[in-house]
C-alpha cells in the first residue's frame, strides 16, 4: 500500500516534532515547515496527501497559505489553532480547510481526524480515476473485473457466452462484427454455422433492451452483422 505523505506547517518546533514522531509511528512519511512560505516550497518539491496547518505563523499565516495552496492542490487540510472562537473556525473552513483542531489536542484526536480525511480523499481520488475494465455505453455498464452487467443501474444476469458476445461488441462501440467474426472470437474456433449467434443476440436483447423489437444498444446491420450503438 502506498505510504501517505503528510506536511506539518507549524512555527512551534516542539509541537511540530511531537506530531511528526506520532505520525511516523503510525506509518506516515512526514515533512515539516515552520511557516506558510516554507510549506508552499515543500509542496512544490514533494507529493503531499494531507497538510496540518497552524493558523498563527510568521511570514505567512495558515489562512493565507491555505488560500494559496487551494489554487493548485485539492488534498485535505486540517487547521490548528489556539483560538476556539466560531468566527475563526468558519473563516478557516470557508477558505478551503477540511477540518479544524483546537489546541491543546491529544495525538489520538489528531490521528482520528487525519485518518478520516485521508479515507475521504482516497475515495474522491478513486472516483476520478478512469476505470479501464468498466465499459459504459449510455445506461449499459459492463464490469470486466466482477463479470457483471448493469442496465440503468440494475443488475442483468447473463450466460457466459452472452457475456462474452456483449463484451466484445461493447469494447468496440459503433463497429460492426460479422456473425463469423463473433463466433471465432468468442468460441476461439472456425465458424461452421453461425445460427447460434442469432439466438444469443436475441437473448441478449431480451435482457438489456427496454423494447427488444426497437433496440437502443444491440443493433443488426442487415447483411453485415451486429454492433453496439454508440450513445450520446
CATH of the domain at 204: 1.10.10.10
Together in a domain, 97 and 188: no
Q: Which of 21-25, 58-62, 119-123 has the lowest mean pLDDT?
A: 119-123
Q: How confident is the model at residue 99 (pLDDT cuts 50, 70, 90)?
A: confident
The CATH number linked to 71 is: 3.40.50.2300
Together in a domain, 105 and 219: no
The pLDDT of 76-105, averaged and rounded, is 76
Together in a domain, 113 and 14: yes
Residue that terminates a domain, selected from 128, 154, 176: 128
Together in a domain, 64 and 164: no
Condensed to tens digits (0 to 9), the pLDDT of residues 160-209 reads 999 999 999 999 999 999 999 999 999 988 888 888 899 999 999 999 99
Together in a domain, 153 and 197: yes
Together in a domain, 91 and 161: no
Give residue 222's domain range. Answer: 134-228
Higher local confidence (pLDDT), 208 or 89: 208
Concatenating the DSSP letter of every residue in the chain gives -PPPEEEEE-S-HHHHHHHHHHHHHTT-EEEEESSHHHHHHHHHHS--SEEEEESS-SSS-HHHHHHHHTTT--S-EEEEES---HHHHHHHHHTT--EEEESS--HHHHHHHHHHHHHHHHHHHHHHS--TTEEEETTEEEETTTTEEEETTEEE---HHHHHHHHHHHTSTT--B-HHHHHHHHHSS--S--HHHHHHHHHHHHHH-SSTTS-SSEEEETTTEEEEPP--
Together in a domain, 81 and 177: no
Its pTM stands at 0.56
Together in a domain, 17 and 124: yes
For residue 126, pLDDT over 80 is answered with no
What total number of domains does the chain contain?
2
Together in a domain, 118 and 142: no
For residue 90, pLDDT over 60 is answered with no
Q: What pLDDT, on the 0 to 100 scale, is given for residue 165?
A: 95
Together in a domain, 111 and 138: no
Q: What pLDDT, on the 0 to 100 scale, is given for residue 1?
A: 46
Amino acid at each position: 500500500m502506498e505510504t501517505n505523505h503528510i506536511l506539518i506547517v507549524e512555527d512551534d518546533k516542539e509541537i511540530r516534532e511531537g506530531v511528526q514522531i506520532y505520525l511516523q509511528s503510525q506509518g506516515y512519511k512526514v515533512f515539516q515547515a515552520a511557516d506558510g512560505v516554507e510549506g508552499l516550497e515543500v509542496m512544490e518539491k514533494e507529493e503531499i496527501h494531507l497538510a496540518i496547518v497552524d493558523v498563527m505563523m510568521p511570514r505567512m499565516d495558515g489562512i493565507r497559505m491555505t488560500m494559496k495552496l487551494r489554487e493548485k492542490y485539492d488534498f485535505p487540510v486540517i487547521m490548528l489553532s489556539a483560538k476556539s472562537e466560531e468566527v475563526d473556525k468558519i473563516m478557516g473552513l470557508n477558505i478551503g480547510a477540511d477540518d479544524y483542531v483546537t489546541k491543546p489536542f491529544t495525538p489520538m484526536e489528531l490521528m482520528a481526524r487525519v485518518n478520516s480525511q485521508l479515507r475521504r480523499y482516497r475515495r474522491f481520488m478513486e472516483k476520478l480515476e478512469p476505470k479501464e475494465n468498466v465499459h459504459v455505453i449510455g445506461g449499459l455498464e459492463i464490469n470486466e473485473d466482477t463479470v457483471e452487467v448493469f442496465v440503468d443501474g440494475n443488475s442483468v444476469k447473463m450466460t457466459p457466452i452472452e457475456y462474452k458476445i456483449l463484451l466484445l461488441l461493447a469494447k468496440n462501440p459503433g463497429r460492426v462484427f460479422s456473425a463469423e467474426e463473433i463466433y471465432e472470437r468468442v468460441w476461439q474456433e472456425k465458424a461452421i454455422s453461425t445460427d447460434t449467434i442469432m439466438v444469443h443476440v436475441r437473448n441478449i436483447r431480451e435482457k438489456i433492451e427496454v423494447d427488444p423489437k426497437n433496440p437502443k444498444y444491440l443493433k443488426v446491420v442487415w447483411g453485415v452483422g451486429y454492433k453496439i450503438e454508440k450513445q450520446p
